[in-house]
Amino acid sequence: MPAIRLGNIAPDFEAETTQGKIKFHEWIGDSWAVLFSHPGDFTPVCTTELAEVARRAPDFEKRNVKVIGISANGLDDHEKWVKDINEWGSKSSPTSVGFPIIADADRKISTLYDMLDEQDATNRDAKGLPFTIRTVFVIDPKKTVRLTISYPASTGRNFDEIIRVIDSLQIGDKYRVTTPVNWKKGEDVIVHPTVTTEEAKTLFPEHTVHKPYLRTTPLKVE
């Protein structure tokens, strides 16, 4: 299976989830999507991650982002595990998993998206079959893959960073800008290199020229 690269169309698939059967592209609709895999149900790091995603639901919603999880487990385990996730998350703040989790016990979707662990010999089931690593795909409304990140099974993801990149992508699509190192929403951005000097005067009247190739500007976004 060829690797999924940035700019590829995300492979479509049908799947059973904790919220019923879906066709992936149809489920995405006109939204952005985050597809993220976790090594296994009833595991410690994954429990903390899914609780965090559940708590961050308003942050994804206001960015028009749908979130969907996946692991190499069945629906029964998913549905039982959700109770543990909610219980853990509620230790910090009210938590209710409202996003679907894909059942992928046969690993068809995990294989399609190249999510299976080829490194950690401990990240396997009783039969020796690999579980998934912590893979993230950010997909835009055109079903184009815009971001991929892979974490080892031992390391929980930073969802602040994932949301930060979504902000960068959405702002870049709308305003012809890029974002500098460690950028956060509300900070100055970089005028895209394809914007001419004359265009920049109109589009970004407050921009500053540091070098001919480096122009920054404040940008007010909602």
- CB atoms under 10 Å from CB of 79, counted, come to 13
Q: What is the DSSP letter of 3?
A: P
From the list 21, 25, 35, 29, the residue with the least C-alpha distance to 75 is 21
Specify whether the CB–CB gap between 132 and 72 falls below 8 A: yes
- Residue spans of alpha helices (H) in 70-181: 75-89, 108-112, 159-175
CA distance 208 to 222: 22
Q: Note if 122 is an active site residue.
A: no
Among the listed residues 46, 70, 85, 116, the single catalytic one is 46
- The catalytic site residues sit at 46
